[in-house]
Amino acid sequence: MPALDALLGPRGVPKGQLTEIFGSSSSGKTTLALALLAACTREGGIGAYIDPALSLFAPVAAGAGIDLRRIIVVRPRDEAAARRAVDALVRGGACGVVALDCGDWPHVLQTHHCARLVAQAEKTGTVLLVISGGSNAALASFASLRLRAHGLAPLWQDGSDGGRRLQGCVATIDVAKARSTSPGRSVSFEAAIPDVAGTYVTSELALGTLHL
């Protein structure tokens, strides 16, 4: 996303620190997280996605440019397991990006957890990415970069046959907190919804261009 690169400045997403992407449901925060993981795997790194809700959809992630063979997906069954997983991944230092999807557990990380994780991330240079609803004050305090996703504005199109199609949507992301750029700056993306039912890019999968 070149516009996001311009928004964040030359430093981009800071390594060895905590970055929070927050917003309400259907705000575009997962899309942003997948874009960061795609950048990590494209450079040959290994990423991790902690997915307690089992919501990571492989065809969509592959379509976003993620090499899924370089992604460790952890599916913790409770909050304690999620904390153990993120601790192991950040301490290990093998993953360039560790994404924690808070999902249904908005307060999975408390202040002391954040302090420990940030200290470990600094040592290993891991990008600790937390996808949240934005209600966790500890995360807001410890994050050196906070990106707010404002929501996906759908673009409907009336078809010639009288039916309607979802042509695309517009997402807006602004910087809520940052050390390298001015808070309050925002950027909007326009996106095309994939084919049929909107679940995946049917044409690509049907043509066999995804050799996974």
**Which of positions 108-137 make contact with other proteins (CB under 8 A)?**
none
Which pair of structure tokens corresponds to residue 10?
Answer: 């030359």
Determine the residue type at 145. L
- Shortest spacing between CB 66 and other proteins, in angstroms: 8
Contact region with other proteins (CB under 8 A), list: 8-16, 104-112, 177-185, 192-200: 192-200
Site for other proteins, residues 77 to 96, rule: CB under 8 A = 77, 81, 84-85, 87-89, 91-95
Q: Please select the residue that binds other proteins; options are 7, 18, 61, 114, rule is CB under 8 A.
A: 61
Site for other proteins, residues 132 to 191, rule: CB under 8 A = 151-152, 154, 156, 163-166, 169, 171, 189-191
Q: How far is the C-alpha of 17 from the C-alpha of 164, rounded, in Å?
A: 44
**Contact between 209 and other proteins per CB under 8 A:** yes
- Shortest spacing between CB 104 and other proteins, in angstroms: 12
Spell out the SS3 assignment of 44-100: CCEEEEECCCCCCCHHHHHHCCCCHHHEEEECCCCHHHHHHHHHHHHHHCCEEEEEE
Contact between 29 and 22 (Cβ < 8 Å) = yes
* Ramachandran sector of residue 54 (left: φ over 0; alpha: ψ -120 to 50; beta: rest): left
**Contact between 73 and other proteins per CB under 8 A:** yes
Q: Please select the residue that binds other proteins; options are 13, 46, 108, 121, rule is CB under 8 A.
A: 46
Which of 11/190 has CB closer to other proteins? 190
- Shortest spacing between CB 179 and other proteins, in angstroms: 26
**Contact between 100 and other proteins per CB under 8 A:** no
Torsional sign, CA 6, 63, 42, 134? positive
